[in-house]
Structure formats: C-alpha cells, structure tokens
Structure 1
C-alpha cells in the first residue's frame, strides 16, 4: 500500500513524498497552510502516486507563490498541465452583446434560414414535378385509394368548418359594407361588395388559409411522425417511393379540391350576405340574386378558381416538405408543423398579391 502523503522543508524547498491521492492525503492541506515562509521550489521526486486532488494542491502552490516544480514524473507533469488548463474563471453568463449586433445577427440568421428553406422548397417542387411526370407515363403507379382517402380528409371533413367560416364572413362583409354605404344612402351597393369580394378574393383566400391550418399541418405531423418512426426509410428499403406513396396523393387531392372548396366557400359567403341583407336591409332574396347576376362578371369567378389549384400546390408542398425535414426527436414534429402552416399561409398571401397584379395587368378587374 502507498505511504500517506507527507512533506518536509529543506532549505526553502518543499519535498513531497508518499501518495498524493484523495485517500492518502489526510490533513496535508492544513499543514501546508501553517507554513509561514513561502517556498522557493517544490520537489516531487519522492511522490509515489498522484491524482487530481494532489495535482490541484501542487498547482495552487505554483500559482500562489510562483515556485518551480522539480522531480515530477511524466504522468505527474501531464496531470499538472491539465489541471492548470482548467484553472480559469467560470463564466456563468455570456457577455452581453450590443443590441445592434444581436439584432443584426438574428436578421442575418433568419435570412440565411429563409434562403435554405426556399432552396429546399424549390428542390421539393422539382421532385413533385418528376413524380407527376412518372405517374402520368405509368398510370398504374397512381395510388387511387390513398387519393380518395385524402379527398375525404381534405375536402369532406372540412366542409363544416369552411361553410361556417364563409357564412360568418359573408354576414360581416354585408354588415360592415351596409354601415359604411348607409352614409351615402347606397346600402344596395353592399350586394356588389359581397358578390365581387367573395368570388375574387375572400372565398378562395380564406379557404386556403383554413386548409393550410387544418390539412397542411396534418400533412406535416403525419409524415413527420412516420419519419421519426423510420417508416419512411423502411419504405425506401423495400423499394416504395415516399414521394409517390405519401406526398403525391396529398398534393393531387389538395389541388383538385381547392377550386371546389373555394367555390363552395364563395357560395356560402354569398348566402350569408344575402340572409343579412334580407333581415337587416329589407332586400328580398330574389332582388339580391338578380343584383348579383347583374354586377358580378364571370371573370370574377375565373379569377378565384384559377388561383385555387396554385394555392393547393403550395399548401400540400409546404406541409409535406416540412414533414420530410423532421429528424431527431418528437419536438421537431411540433416545430415543423408550425413552420408548415406559417410558410403555406405566407406563400399563399404573397401569390395572391401576385395574382392581383397579374389580373389587373391583363384587364380582369
């Protein structure tokens, strides 16, 4: 067994002996503190063994009294060097960054992330185009059962909430329009407002936002959960394309159903506005319908319906893309689902503004 740690003072030199370890060091630190005269050197030639506790004690002597170490073995010297490297003030809190640099850094990081996401979306759109071409040239690869299931999820199950939302929007448009037009004695022109704004903009736009929040988030959560469970990798292993099995049925269903849901939403909004006009403005339903037919051109209907499939592609693509990006842990599913909804709504509004400028340029106003 190693001898207990001890020391002697010889002509200003501290000579240690024994095992300078936690188990054998005893009251050596207390006895060292009683030394009045600071040593000039430390001799470790008699030390049999040393651990980090002994190394820390020697390091304190070297640090506090600026003495040299003699007779240390290679292992002891290496241990002393490692302890010395770790003897630095611990910063509990990071240094405060100036607000300008912090905000600039956050903006830069957000811009880089937005660029990466856009690049990923464009690549994912390319995969969708390639898969669409492959399915058109090989119709037997189309998964009709999966598409019909998505028809039910995206379309049939959404009729209730979309109808309620559209009805209330029609009522609100009629009420607010009538309040403002009453100042000029032109309440009847509220019918123009209801018909044109619902068919051109709000019918399809509000439907797209509702589908993005309802179906786009579901796409991201479903595919993300499959990605975490490694089901997507298993599909690739057995030769099944995740694009054709998971993504394309959702994209096809959303593209086909968005014009139908948008038209349905516009009709329900017109019904809500007509009911309010009948009850509050004393405009009979026959007069309301006749006025709608007079003031709403057929181009307004086409303006809304032509935008709907593009919105459907954006919503399905954003949801499936974010679902495919899930990796690591379950928290990613929630984060990617939120990102899918935010991205799809943002892109839908941006494209709606683009369509508004485009239709104005070609004269569909």
Structure 2
C-alpha cells in the first residue's frame, strides 16, 4: 500500500481493492478551487476504482459538492463513502440540480421582416398612447376652465420663470448672432445686383415668419422640454406619480397642465425677443455696410406687415404646446432603471425638435393655401 499527500486536506492511498482519497476539514469554495486540479487528475487515472472517503469532512458547500460529484463521475466505478448526514443532504441537492435539464438555447435568427413589424407595432402603440395622453390633457384643460381653482398659480408662475425669464439671455444671444449671420450672407449675393438695400426686408420676413419661432422652439426644447422630462421622469422612477394617484390627486392637473400652459405662454415671448435681437444684429451689419437706420426702418415697414408678426407668434404658441406635451409625455412614460431619466430627456429633446419642424412645414403649406 502506498500513501501520499496531494494537498493539505487530501490524501490518497492505493491498495489492491482500489484507490482511497481521504479529504478532511471544510470543503468550501476556496478549498475546492485549490483541490480541483489535483482531485480531477487523480480521478482520471486509469486503474482501480476510486473511493472518496469523507469521514473527516466537516461540511461542504455547493462548490465542494460539485467537485466531489464531478470527480465521482469522471472516475471509473467511483463512489463516495462515510459522508455525514449533512454532507449527504448537500450532495443530494447538488446532484438533483446537476441532473435537471438545462434551459434550451434558442439560436438567434436575423429576420428583417419581424424587426420591421415589431417597430411598426411599437410605433402604433406609442401613437395610441400619445392620443390618449392628449385626450386626457384636453379633458383636464376643459375641467380647469370650469373650475379655475384646480390650476395652481404658484406652479404656473414658477414654470413661467424657469422656461421664459431665464431663457431671455440665450434668446437674445442666438437672435443677435442669427441676425448678423443672415445679414452678412444675404448681402453677399445681393451685392452682385446692387440690391443690398433689400437685406432688411429679407432678414425681417425670415425672422418674423420662420426663423424666430423655429429657433425659439429649439431653445425651448433644449432647455425646458428636457427639464420637464427629467423632472417628471424622476418622479415616475421614484413612484411619486403613483403615490399621487393613490391619494386621489390627478397628475395631469397637478404636474402636466401648469407646464403645458407655461410653454404656450412663454413661446411667443421668446420668439419675439429672439426676433427683435435678430433685427438689432441685422441693423448693426447694415450700419457697418454704410446704410442709414432710416433706410433700414423704411425697408422693414414697407415689406414686413402685422400679419407676418401675428402668424409667427401663433406658430410659436403651437410650437410651445407641442414641446411641452412631448416633454411631459416622455417624463411620465419613463421606464425603470438608472437610464430611464436620461432616455426620457433625450426623447423629449429629439421629439420636440422633430415636432416643431413637422409643424413648421404644415404651417408653411397652410399659410400658402390661405394666402398669408
């Protein structure tokens, strides 16, 4: 008979009846990791049957039991002997777990048709949810007209300040730069025909009818739309919106309606501020080109009418409605997890900009048909 030590807690003895591997101590995960290579090498040796003697083993965990069962199955005629009842119970549970059927691996199949269908279904579902959101908002707005006390004036004033007053500086900066750029770029081609005097009318009409509301919408979507989505998304993730519903408080009237109303009221003012700043920037460029301010003013009064201003302000109000609704919808529809708020803010900005561009195109066709 030969005896040798493979590890601190593992001994092997060879005799005529087989090889007996004696283990001692606690066979936990660290011990199993250190003994795995030695025990498996011993189990795979050809020759006499392998006997795992667990008389000195105090306890095993699932890793140790996996090692013992794997060594038993790897050896020819391997068996486990002298295990305590607690060790036997762990071995039985691990043996049942190893014998359980593995989950079926479904191979991935690239299917463009199913991907397109899934996207179409998700888009239709999102459209239906958006229509439901608009309907609920309309019902709350009509209910507020009947009962004005439902609208919290303090919240409305706070959102007017955050969306409007704090954005005036950015609107002035963007408007003045836009006016300077438009004036310079318009003067270059018109100079070839000696028509630089028409730069004020060109820039004025562009700012009043198109660029003023559009750029103000971009500012509102970037600042306020994302803020709405982040605030409401955080409340949704923290289940504050659900708590309001449980207490019988309608989140549409408390959270959404003041924000939407603030967006509608702020956008015409932002558009007007941005347009006036753009006209000032254009006037500075015209002065640098040698034109008198009286000439600039005369061109503006001759070619820019009140309907241009009112049409631009009406578009701005509609843009504010769209941006506010998209931002609130993205916030209340936020999912769960650490990325939910960021995804909601991104969806609000992208959706708001896309919405105002689409609406601007629709207004262009409508004004052309109406002769405005």
Query: Which of these residues, 303, 309, 318, is aligned with residue 310 of structure 1?
Result: 318
Matched residue, 1:277: 286
- Equivalent residues in 2 for 1:94-243, closer than 5 Å: 101=110, 113-243=122-252
C-alpha spacing 1:107/1:172, structure 2 compared with 1 (3 Å): farther
Q: Check whether the contact 1:213–1:341 (CA below 8 A) recurs between aligned residues.
A: yes
Picking from 71, 88, 98, the partner of 1:57 is: 71
Q: Which runs of 5+ in 1 are unaligned?
A: none
Is contact 2:259–2:324 with CA below 8 Å preserved after alignment?
A: yes
Q: CA deviation at 1:257?
A: 1.9
CA distance in 1, matches of 2:325, 2:279: 30
Partner of 1:360: 368
TM-score calculated relative to the size of structure 2: 0.76
Shift of 1:84: 5.6
Tell me what 2:3 maps to: none
CA distance in 1, matches of 2:16, 2:314: 95
Q: Which residue of 1 aligns with 2:44?
A: 33
Match of 1:83 among 84, 92, 98: 98
Q: What SS does the aligned partner of 1:184 have?
A: coil
Cα gap change, 1:110 to 1:172, in 2 (>3 Å): farther
Which of the residues 327, 330, 341 maps onto 1:319?
327
Q: For residue 32 of structure 1, report the CA deviation from its aligned partner.
A: 3.5
Structure 1 residue 199 displacement after superposition: 0.7
Q: Report the counterpart of residue 8 of structure 2 in structure 1.
A: none
User: CA separation in 1, counterparts of 2:316 and 2:295?
Assistant: 30
Q: State how many pairs are aligned.
A: 341
Query: Partners of 2:15 and 2:91 in 1: how far apart?
Result: 19
Contact 2:159 2:259 in 1 (8 A): yes
Shift of 1:152: 1.3
SS at match of 1:326: coil
CA distance in 2, matches of 1:352, 1:146: 30
1:321-341 Cα shifts (integer Å, max 9, x gaps): 122123434432222112111
1:298 pairs with one of 306, 316, 335:
306
Q: How much does 1:217 deviate?
A: 1.2
Question: How many Å separate the matches in 2 of 1:106 and 1:276?
Answer: 53
> Quick one: distance in 2 between partners of 1:102 and 1:272?
55
Deviation at 1:203, TM superposition (A): 0.4
2:179–2:280 CA contact under 8 A, matched in 1: yes
Per-residue deviation at 1:273?
0.8
Deviation (angstroms), 1:252: 0.7
CA deviations on 1:54-100 (whole Å, 9 max, x unpaired) are: 221233348xxxx999xxx9997885464366899xx9xx99x89xx
Distance verdict in 2 for CA 1:162–1:30, change over 3 Å: closer
- CA drift at 1:234: 3.1
RMSD: 4.0
Q: Give the whole-Å Cα distance in 2 for the aligned partners of 1:133 and 1:15.
A: 88
Taking a change above 3 Å as real, the CA distance of residues 214 and 68 of structure 1, as seen in their structure-2 partners, is same
Q: CA, structure 1 residues 362+55, in 2 after alignment: closer, same or farther (shift >3 Å)?
A: same
Q: 1:234 to 1:5 in 2, by over 3 A?
A: farther
Task: Report the more deviating stretch, 206-215 or 318-327.
Answer: 318-327
Corresponding residue of 2:82:
none
